[in-house]
Amino acid sequence: MLKIKNINTYYGQVHALKNVSLHVNAGEIVSLIGANGAGKTTILNSLSAVTPPRDGEVIFEGTSISNLSSDRIVEMGISQVPEGRQVFKDFSVEDNLELGAYLRYRGREGRATIKSDIEDMFTLFPQLSDRRKQMAGTLSGGEQQMLAIGRALMAKPKLLLLDEPSMGLAPLVVQEIFRVITALRAERGTSVLLVEQNAKAALKIADRGYVLETGKVILEEKASELLENKEVQRAYLGREKKEIWER
């Protein structure tokens, strides 16, 4: 479904991604793991044209999307859930979901269909159903994460890019988020490219994983093999390394 070929992405003069290549097959969950600053978020931002690669190529379903705008990439079937959730805090839960379907309105899709999909999101995330008129900024962190995922799903993506969905959440909420991710693949056929510091939890639900270090892919294996590979811990730097791995 997705092929990234030797992309190089920069922040000013900082060379953030260095000849990165990876792929995601249709129906796969693929996890990107590595220390802070390894380039995981930059990969997602490169795919979404938030921070476009300077060179290399990104191919989605056989079509190069390297020079497309972010909105066109969403129209083609790639949606991103950003790190830190970034919901529209002064809008209601329902309005946030409706904004996720903005490009579908532009395509003159029937309003009734979109409203039906909003109700589908409330079925997927029943915690949000009773809060549909509540301002998004007043939700808990876990509820905001659910809303951010629901908003991205309103664009009807074939590939969902998830950036640190467990960040700052309680363990029970994290379990629910990961349950939803596996359900999206199993029940809707949604492919997922997942960035996660919680390596163990991410690899347990993934098919394959890539380990990044200082802007480079240093290892690719089946997720089950990465779980058993003690060398994977080298991708985690600083005091939090051991704690993250043992969660």
Q: What is the pLDDT of residues 51-87, one digit of tens each?
A: 999 999 999 999 999 999 999 999 999 999 998 889 9
Return the pLDDT at 168: 87
Count of structural domains within the chain: 1
**Euclidean distance between CA atoms 245 and 200, whole angstroms:** 6
**Euclidean distance between CA atoms 163 and 44, whole angstroms:** 8
The token duo for 41 is 């978020």
Residue 127's CATH number: 3.40.50.300
Binning pLDDT at 50, 70 and 90, where does residue 94 land? very high
The arithmetic mean of pLDDT across residues 81-100, rounded, is 93
The token duo for 77 is 């079937």
Query: Could you tell me which of 201, 240, 243 has the C-alpha nearest to residue 223?
Result: 201
Binning pLDDT at 50, 70 and 90, where does residue 36 land? confident
Kindly tell me if the per-residue pLDDT of 40 is higher than 90. Answer: yes
Kindly tell me if the per-residue pLDDT of 48 is higher than 60. Answer: yes
Kindly tell me if the per-residue pLDDT of 123 is higher than 60. Answer: yes
Kindly tell me if the per-residue pLDDT of 12 is higher than 70. Answer: yes
Beta-carbon contacts of 72 under 8 Å, excluding residues fewer than 6 positions away, are 65
The answer, as to whether pTM is greater than 0.95, is no
The Cβ of residue 223 has, within 10 Å, a number of other Cβ atoms equal to 19
Query: Could you tell me which of 44, 50, 39 has the C-alpha nearest to residue 4?
Result: 44
Binning pLDDT at 50, 70 and 90, where does residue 113 land? confident
Beta-carbon contacts of 211 under 8 Å, excluding residues fewer than 6 positions away, are 33, 34, 217, 218, 219, 220, 226, 232, 235
**Euclidean distance between CA atoms 52 and 7, whole angstroms:** 9
- CA distances in angstroms from 103 to 74, 78, 97, 118, listed in the order given: 8, 12, 12, 15
User: How much is the mean pLDDT over the chain?
Assistant: 90
Residue 84: domain span: 2-246
Return the pLDDT at 201: 87
**Euclidean distance between CA atoms 62 and 48, whole angstroms:** 17
Place of tokens 């969660």: 247
Kindly tell me if the per-residue pLDDT of 241 is higher than 90. Answer: no
Kindly tell me if the per-residue pLDDT of 242 is higher than 60. Answer: no
Return the pLDDT at 196: 87
Tell me which of 191 and 240 has the higher pLDDT.
191
Query: Could you tell me which of 122, 175, 166, 138 has the C-alpha nearest to residue 33?
Result: 166
The arithmetic mean of pLDDT across residues 196-224, rounded, is 92
Beta strands in 123-190 (DSSP E): 159-163
Beta-carbon contacts of 58 under 8 Å, excluding residues fewer than 6 positions away, are 2, 3, 4, 5, 7, 46, 47, 64, 65, 66
The arithmetic mean of pLDDT across residues 212-235, rounded, is 85
The arithmetic mean of pLDDT across residues 154-173, rounded, is 93
